Amino acid sequence: MRGRIALMALALGGALGLAGAAVAQEKIKIGVSYPTPTHAWAAGMNWHAENAEKRLEALYPDIDLILVNSPDPGAQASALEDLVSVHQIDALVVLPFESEPLTDPVLNVKKSGALITVVDRGLSQPGIEDIYVAGNNPELGRVSAVYMKSRLKEGDNIVVLRGIPTLIDNERFDAFMAEIEGSGINVLDHKHANWNRDDGFDVMQDFLSRFPDIDAVWAQDDDIAIGVVAALKQAGRDGDGMFVVGGAGMKETIKGIMDGNELVPVDVLYPPAMIATAMDVTVAAFKSNGPVAGRYILGATLITPENAEQFYFPDSPF
């Protein structure tokens, strides 16, 4: 009898041990979806995402972060479907390639029961996300315009190069225009340059061909600004007192500000590390005993020769 009891206890203990091991091996799966890097800011974001993945998985062995980048909106929509159907994610951190075409795919992920964190580019339908993390887009536009007003006078002319058509581009542009309104500064034209150097070059070439008198350029983004500067130099108009204001905080741009670059004298911060912030907050939703749902809006500091050194990180990829 004692032998049978011992065997039964051993069998029961083994079964419980297997069940415990299975529970121990269960992972909290968090998908992280963002566009394939095509410019420096996105490359910096990718670097921060990969480093956050290593850090968080080392800190929490039961967290599985699944990073996927996509080259276009359609590919990103397909990637989101796979994160649900194949990986059965518990949460999604997503930086939409574009707002409108990714709204329904993210909503479908939400319907699967996953927690949703949206980064940077808001969706076209409010209320889908549980957590929103972004730079201060209206403030980026407003700070840029305030600097323009400090340098320009009534009757001066500027051109504007916008980003990809998204909610955050609208927020930046609308705030910039609201601040410029009433100053007497003329906005000659504005066109989308898609946060891309080549597009920035092409759009600025068009502006230069149509407008002989331009006093300043709001490029909104450091990659666009690089294209703008290249177009100015090719046209021989980089020494006529015109200046360019970009945005993001690229290390090459900040180094130029530190060195007294008169063509690009300032920048406005928009940190690519926000993807890591979003991943931290999403993990905290599963690990913290405090509430984390809500909006996290980061700052938009004007980077000048006086403070540029504190934003300069030479070892960063961005």
All structural domains of the chain: 22-134+272-287 (3.40.50.2300), 137-268 (3.40.50.2300)
Beta bridge pairs of residue 107? none
Separation CA 10–CA 12 (nearest Å): 5
Residue type, 192: H
Task: Give the per-residue SS3 of 265-277.
Answer: CCEEECCCCHHHH
Query: According to DSSP H, which parts of 26-72 are helical?
Result: 40-59
Residue ranges with strand state E in the chain: 28-35, 63-70, 91-94, 115-119, 131-135, 157-162, 186-192, 216-218, 243-245, 267-268, 294-298, 302-303
Q: For the chain, how big is the Rg over CA atoms in Å?
A: 24
Query: How far is CA 173 from each of CA 74, 219, 261, rounded to the nearest angstrom?
Result: 26, 11, 25
Query: Per-residue confidence of the chain (318 residues) as pLDDT tens digits?
Result: 444 444 333 343 444 444 444 444 589 999 999 999 977 788 889 999 999 999 999 999 999 999 999 999 999 999 999 999 999 999 999 999 999 999 999 999 999 999 999 998 889 999 999 999 999 999 999 999 999 999 999 999 999 999 998 888 999 999 999 999 999 999 999 999 999 999 999 999 999 999 999 999 999 999 999 999 999 999 999 988 999 999 999 989 999 999 999 999 999 999 888 999 999 999 999 999 999 999 999 989 999 999 999 988 787 777
Q: Contact, 141 vs 127, CB < 8 A? A: no
Tokens 């049978």 locate to 4
What whole-number distance in Å separates Cα of residue 248 and Cα of residue 269? Answer: 5
> What is the C-alpha end-to-end distance of the chain, expressed in Å?
72
- Cβ–Cβ < 8 Å for 168, 126: no
pTM of the shown model: 0.74
Q: CA-CA distance, 212 to 51, in Å (whole number)? A: 47
